[in-house]
Structure formats: C-alpha cells, structure tokens
Amino acid sequence: MQYTSTKFEDYISKGIVHSFSRKDNPYDNACIESFHSVLKKEEVNHHKYYYFNDAQKAVFEYIEYWYNRRRIYSTINYKTPREVYKTVLKAS
C-alpha cells in the first residue's frame, strides 16, 4: 500500500496530519528536510544518547539555544531567526 492510496489516507485521517508533498511537487517539505539535515549534522551525529530523555533535552537545547538564537543564516541576511522574529514584532 502506498502513502498516496485512498485506503491509507482514510486510515491516517483519524488523527494524524499527513505531511507528504502534493502530487508533482517535490518541494513541499524542503524546508523541514533541510532543518533535519542540519540537526543531524550539527547535533545528533556527534553524540550517543543512551536515554530518550537525554536525546530530547539535547535536541531541545540545540534548537532553542543554538539554532534559533546564535546560528546565522544567509537566507535571512546573516541574522539569527530570533533577530528576525524580534524585528517583525517591532514592525507590527
């Protein structure tokens, strides 16, 4: 059974939000796929987690304290997401 089948869609529609790309649009999930790639390269692949809670805490800290507050991005003029967010808040 493929993920695009009606049977599958009916099954997951009972409480799961489906996030596969629309038909003929491979770019729908490009943003989150890029994030997962960076997360693995910069955090997950550098550590060995023995307990789920340790992994959960490490990923949370990576996202909140590094990815959003310190890591700069060329796509947003070499600013952090936090800086951009603050700028948008001031403008509104």
Rounded Cα gap, residues 20 and 29, in angstroms = 7
| pLDDT tens-place string over residues 10-53 | 877 777 776 666 666 666 677 778 889 999 999 999 999 999 99
Neighbour count for residue 3 (Cβ, 10 Å): 9
| Predicted structure pTM score | 0.61
**80 in Cβ contact with 68 (< 8 Å):** yes
**44 in Cβ contact with 63 (< 8 Å):** no
- Amino acid (1-letter code) at residue 78: Y
- Per DSSP, the three-state class of 45 is helix
**43 in Cβ contact with 59 (< 8 Å):** yes
